[in-house]
């Protein structure tokens, strides 16, 4: 009978030791375990078991940890059972190793279960057990659980030796800083000192880094000074953290001092130091200086990392220097530094921002099929979908969405929101609703942004009822509508002259969120259009009571509405109020007033307005010139008007100014033309007053 072929792992990478003794296998396994090659360790262990060699205690211990690192907790616990079955002792040290393996492989919940089991009179915990789990919880940003465990340690002092040590405090301080909870970290440093423990460079560095991350650079500098006073020497990480914080805040003089201090103490800047400086320069828009620093870094023998290149590529893309960004990526590849998913995503976003979507799609093909193959993530797809939707290529965006699961990437909420927005821009509401339903079926709940996109889309298409139904659905799903949901519906209702519904929704909104200038602008516009001037005035007063400053558009709407209705005293009062608020009436406002005074035959008021317009350098357009001519054409005292008419030297729409003499001359021409045309009224003339000009 033919012997079966060797297993793949034996035939290729993991050849068996030449000797079949237990010692040879143990040596082989130990070497793989120490090197951290857990996958190879598991394969070799399997080969040893198949050869009939009984595993030793070190081999089984390593097997347990390797399974934990390989994210296979079931097998890890099975190996633990095998160890126990063979009569080997289960120790705290062994379980600590298993606990660490579970935490490293991000199986913190499994680690927590093991921790609980250890505390139930099985295997005693020690301070390493607690520190290991605290570290795992901090890495997962589960800070409340980590703090709770630390407090529990303090409560058990003297019972099992669970007093928190320097490692405990260091881990918690680092975790709090990385979670942005720096004030708690500072308080913990004080408690550490109160416990008689001496903070070391690691503790201070974590605190300095955390303070810089939240912009508290002065506090970070104080902590740095405290280090010096305690004669604790900063290391390159300490300097790099503070230098990065200073550079992000544009404090380049202090950055220079820090670099000089490093040189004096013999601390050489590393890749992190240079990357922090480059990032600081980029954040200030100093991309040329950042590029020069990259060159200096290389000259000094410090090899830039992928992160270094990504920082600079990102800034080049933000400034629209896409060709320079691609050149930098080419240099990166020449130096055998592989671009990662962030590199490609940054370039794809840069291309899409410049509306070079076809180039972005080509880069995507290079990313997945080129020499430096990189697996796209959800951000890659979202960036391309965003670019395609912006350029109106919704079909291609939907095709890309369908491709995602085939490549092992699943759409997230952002993906669906982008596509729904793209479909609404194309007025494809039916498919947008289908996509929302697909999103819900996939286990994703629509968020406030989803509803805002759809509500806004329906309102732009005047489908107000559909928008209100979505608002009700939003409430039914436990989501609170925001200003961005109410305002489009209120605006659409006002435009459709449904003022009662608009005011009702406005009153409902006020119970949940404060209206803004957009809310009032929509309602005032609607009130003016429907002739409800008292309602418009009430809304203006409510705005002022709420401390919301009306804008130029609101005042213009009100002046126009009151002027058209003949309430000129109120219109003039509003203009004064408008000017007092720092706004200048525009030509449209004056046009409304001139028309209103013309209807009342108040020529002197018109001339007064013209003087005011000239004094304010208001540019005359064709419409207002026509209004002026119409208004003054019936005045028989043309020569008397010449004394009062102002000169308008502000450029008009035709690109020139004119004097009062010219205005009067045109007025005379206009009167003459009207008299001549008066005899032709029976004919079908399409006479446009603006053509006089």
Q: What is the per-residue pLDDT across 385-416, written as a single tens digit (0 to 9) for each?
A: 999 999 999 999 999 999 999 988 999 999 99
Q: What pLDDT does residue 18 have? A: 42
Rounded to whole angstroms, the Cα distance separating 77 from 110 reads: 11
Instruction: Please write the tens of the pLDDT for every residue from 314-331.
Output: 999 999 999 999 999 999
pLDDT > 50? residue 493 = yes
pLDDT of 133 above 60 = yes
* pLDDT of 692: 31
Task: From 90, 119, 145, give the residue that closes a domain.
Answer: 90
pLDDT of residue 208: 95
pLDDT at 684: 37
Residues 69, 16: one domain? yes
Distance of alpha carbon 374 from alpha carbon 361, whole angstroms: 15
CA angle 83, 88, 92 (to 5 degrees): 90
- For tokens 């913190």, the residue is 108
Indicate the burial class of 528 (C-beta count within 10 angstroms; 0-12, 13-18, 19 or more): buried
- Report residue 68 as tokens: 């934990």
Q: How many CB atoms lie within 10 A of CB 346?
A: 25
Higher per-residue confidence, 562 vs 48: 562
Cβ atoms within 10 Å, residue 164: 23
pLDDT band with cut points at 50, 70 and 90 for residue 8: very low
Share of the chain above pLDDT 90, in %: 52
pLDDT tens column, 275-299: 999 999 998 889 999 999 999 899 8
CA distance 617 to 602: 23
Is 17 found in the same domain as 70?
yes
Tell me the β-bridge partners of 648.
658
- For the residues 668-681, what does the mean pLDDT come to? 48
Q: Give the chain's domain count.
A: 3
In a domain, 158, yes or no: no
pLDDT of residue 649: 53
Query: Residue 522 pLDDT > 90, yes or no?
Result: yes
- Let me know whether 86 and 4 are in one domain: yes
Residue of higher predicted confidence among 680 and 365:
365
Which of 117, 152, 122, 156 is CA-nearest to residue 134? 152
Same-domain pairing of 576 and 537: yes
Q: Which of 45-59, 201-215, 475-489 has the lowest mean pLDDT?
A: 45-59
Looking at the DSSP assignment, which residues form a beta bridge with residue 658? 648
Position 339 in a domain: no
Helices (H), 513-602: 517-529, 533-545, 552-564, 568-580, 587-600
Confidence band of 178 (pLDDT split at 50, 70, 90): very high
The reported pLDDT for the residue numbered 603 is: 78
Task: Identify the CA nearest to 455 among candidates 418, 506, 500, 420.
Answer: 420
Q: Locate 495 and state its tokens.
A: 């435009």
Question: Is the same domain home to 15 and 63?
Answer: yes
Structure tokens at 299: 């000259």
Write down the mean pLDDT value for the chain: 83
How far is the C-alpha of 35 from the C-alpha of 32, rounded, in Å?
5
What pLDDT does residue 47 have?
Answer: 75
Dist. CA 91–CA 51, nearest whole Å: 28
Q: Are residues 553 and 620 in the same domain?
A: no
Q: What is the pLDDT of residue 6?
A: 32
Q: Is the pLDDT of residue 311 over 50?
A: yes
Q: What is the pLDDT of residues 559-585, one digit of tens each?
A: 999 988 889 889 989 988 888 888 888
Which tops the pLDDT comparison, 137 or 101?
137
Residue 12 in any domain: the answer is yes
* Residue 647 clears pLDDT 70, i.e. is over it: no
In a domain, 607, yes or no: no
Most confident of 98-107, 118-127, 296-305: 296-305
Q: How confident is the model at residue 679 (pLDDT cuts 50, 70, 90)?
A: very low
Using only C-alpha atoms, the chain has a radius of gyration, in whole angstroms, of 38
Q: Are 496 and 488 in contact (CB under 8 A)?
A: no
Mean pLDDT of 672-692: 39
Band (683; pLDDT cuts 50, 70, 90): very low
Claim to verify: residue 620 and residue 658 sit in the same structural domain: yes
The pLDDT assigned to 662 comes to 57
Domain boundary among 535, 565, 585: 585
Q: What is the pLDDT of residue 487?
A: 95
The backbone torsions φ and ψ at residue 648, rounded to the nearest 5 degrees and listed phi first, read -110, 105
Domain presence at residue 179: no
Are 579 and 618 within one domain? no
Q: Quick one: tokens of 678? A: 């008066």
Any idea what DSSP says for residue 199?
P
Residue 271 — very low, low, confident or very high, per pLDDT cuts 50/70/90? Answer: very high
Last residue of some domain: 90, 118, 153? 90
| Contact assessment for residue 585 and residue 579, using Cβ atoms and an 8 Å cutoff | yes
Rounded-to-integer distance, Cα 311 and Cα 387, Å? 22
**Residue 290 forms part of a structural domain:** no
Q: What is d(CA 602, CA 605) in angstroms, rounded to the nearest whole number?
A: 6
Contacts of residue 211, defined as CB under 8 A and 6 or more positions apart, other chains included, come to 177, 182, 217, 219, 220, 223, 245
Number of neighbours of residue 85 by Cβ within 10 angstroms: 8
Q: What is the pLDDT of residue 13?
A: 29
Same domain membership, residue 670 and residue 620:
yes
Question: Where does residue 266 fall: left (phi above 0), alpha (psi -120 to 50 degrees), or beta otherwise?
Answer: left
Cα–Cα distance list, 89 to 80, 94, 283, 365, 568 (Å): 10, 9, 57, 55, 99
What pLDDT is attached to residue 120?
Answer: 61
Write down the pLDDT at residue 163: 86
Tokens for 427, please give them.
């007025």
User: Which three-class secondary structure state does DSSP give residue 427?
Assistant: coil
Cα-based torsion angle of the residue sequence 512, 516, 522, 526 in order, rounded to the nearest 10 degrees: 70
| Kind plus residue range of the DSSP H or E element containing 205 | helix 201-213
Query: How many alpha carbons lie under 13 Å from residue 155 in its C-beta half-sphere?
Result: 6
For residues 70-81, give the mean pLDDT.
74
362 occurs within a structural domain: no
Neighbours of 494 (CB within 10 A): 24
For 551, the domain range is 514-585
Domain contains 531: yes
Tell me, yes or no, whether 565 and 628 share the same domain: no
Question: CA-to-CA distance for 547 and 544, rounded, in angstroms?
Answer: 5
Average of per-residue pLDDT across 546-569: 91
| CA-wise closest residue to 502 among 516, 492, 511 | 492
Question: Is 177's pLDDT higher than 60?
Answer: yes
Tell me what the mean pLDDT of segment 669-684 comes to: 45
Residue percentage of the chain with pLDDT more than 70: 83
Please tell me the distance from the alpha carbon of residue 64 to that of residue 161, in angstroms, as a whole number.
Answer: 26
Pair (86, 1) in one structural domain: yes
pLDDT at 20: 53
Given this model, what pLDDT does residue 672 score?
Answer: 56
**Higher-confidence position of 631 and 458:** 458
User: Can you say how many angstroms the Cα of residue 363 is from the centroid of all Cα atoms in its chain?
Assistant: 24
Residues 569, 630, single domain; the answer is no
Predicted TM-score (pTM) of the model is 0.72
Sign of the four-CA dihedral 648, 649, 653, 654: positive
Neighbours of 452 (CB within 10 A): 21
User: How many residues are listed for the chain in this entry?
Assistant: 693
Tokens of 398: 């939907």
* Alpha carbon distance 61, 69 (integer Å): 13
pLDDT of residue 501: 95
Q: Highest mean pLDDT: which of 412-416, 672-676, 680-684?
A: 412-416
């Amino acid at each position: 009978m033919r012997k079966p072929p060797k297993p793949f792992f034996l035939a290729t990478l993991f050849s068996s030791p030449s000797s079949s003794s237990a010692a040879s296998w143990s040596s082989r396994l130990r070497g793989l375990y120490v090197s951290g090659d857990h996958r190879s360790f598991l394969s070799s262990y399997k080969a040893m078991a198949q050869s009939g060699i009984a595993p030793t205690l070190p081999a089984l211990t390593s097997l347990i940890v390797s399974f934990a690192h390989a994210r296979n907790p079931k097998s890890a616990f099975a190996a633990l059972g095998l160890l126990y079955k063979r009569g080997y002792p289960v120790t705290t040290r062994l379980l600590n190793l298993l606990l660490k393996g579970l935490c490293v492989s991000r199986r913190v919940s499994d680690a927590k279960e093991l921790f609980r089991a250890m505390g139930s009179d099985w295997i005693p915990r020690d301070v390493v057990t607690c520190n290991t789990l605290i570290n795992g919880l901090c890495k997962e940003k589960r800070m409340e659980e980590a703090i709770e465990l630390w407090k529990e340690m303090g409560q058990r002092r003297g019972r099992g030796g669970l007093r928190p040590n320097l490692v405990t405090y260091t881990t918690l301080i680092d975790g709090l800083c990385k979670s942005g909870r720096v004030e708690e970290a500072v308080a913990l440093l004080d408690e550490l000192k109160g416990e008689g423990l001496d903070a070391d460079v690691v503790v201070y560095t974590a605190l300095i880094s955390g303070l810089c991350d939240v912009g508290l650079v002065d506090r970070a500098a104080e902590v740095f000074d405290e280090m010096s006073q305690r004669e604790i020497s900063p290391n390159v990480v300490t300097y790099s953290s503070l230098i990065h914080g200073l550079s992000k805040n544009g404090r380049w003089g202090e950055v220079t001092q820090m670099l000089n201090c490093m040189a004096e103490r013999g601390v050489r800047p590393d890749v992190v130091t240079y990357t922090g400086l480059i990032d600081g320069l980029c954040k200030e828009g100093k991309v040329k200086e950042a590029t020069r620093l990259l060159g200096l870094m290389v000259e000094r023998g410090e090899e830039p990392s992928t992160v270094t290149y990504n920082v600079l590529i990102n800034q080049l893309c933000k400034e629209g220097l896409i060709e320079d960004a691609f050149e930098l990526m080419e240099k990166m590849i020449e130096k055998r530094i592989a671009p990662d998913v962030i590199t490609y995503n940054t370039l794809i976003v840069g291309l899409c921002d410049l509306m070079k979507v076809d180039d972005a799609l080509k880069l995507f093909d290079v990313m997945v099929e080129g020499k430096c193959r990189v697996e796209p993530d959800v951000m890659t797809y979202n960036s391309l979908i965003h670019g395609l939707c912006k350029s109106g290529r919704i079909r291609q965006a939907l095709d890309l969405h369908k491709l995602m699961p085939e490549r092992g990437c699943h759409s997230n909420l952002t993906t669906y929101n982008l596509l729904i927005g793209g479909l609404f821009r194309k007025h494809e509401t039916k498919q947008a609703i289908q996509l929302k339903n697909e999103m819900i079926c996939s286990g994703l709940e629509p968020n406030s942004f989803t509803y805002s996109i759809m509500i806004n889309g329906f309102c732009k298409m005047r489908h107000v009822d559909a928008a209100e139904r979505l608002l009700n659905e939003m409430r039914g799903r436990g989501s609170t509508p925001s200003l961005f949901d109410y305002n489009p519906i209120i605006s659409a209702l006002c435009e459709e002259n449904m003022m009662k519904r608009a005011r009702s929704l406005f009153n409902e909104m006020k119970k949940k969120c404060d209206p803004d200038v957009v809310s009032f602008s929509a309602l005032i516009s609607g009130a003016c259009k429907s002739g409800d001037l008292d309602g418009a005035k009430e809304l203006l007063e409510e705005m002022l009571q709420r401390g919301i400053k009306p804008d130029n558009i609101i005042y213009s709407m009100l002046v126009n509405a009151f002027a058209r209705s003949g309430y000129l005293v109120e219109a003039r009062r509003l203009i004064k109020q408008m000017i007092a608020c720092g706004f200048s009436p525009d030509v449209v406002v004056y046009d409304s007033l001139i028309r209103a005074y013309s209807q009342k035959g108040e020529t002197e008021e018109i001339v007064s307005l013209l003087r005011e317009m000239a004094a304010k350098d208001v540019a005359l357009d064709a419409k207002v010139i026509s209004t002026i001519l119409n208004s003054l054409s019936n005045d028989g005292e043309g020569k008397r008007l010449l004394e009062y008419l102002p000169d308008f030297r502000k450029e008009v729409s035709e690109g020139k100014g004119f004097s009062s003499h010219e205005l009067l001359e045109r007025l005379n021409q206009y009167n003459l033309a009207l008299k001549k045309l008066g005899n032709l009224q029976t004919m079908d003339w399409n006479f446009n007053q603006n053509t006089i000009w």
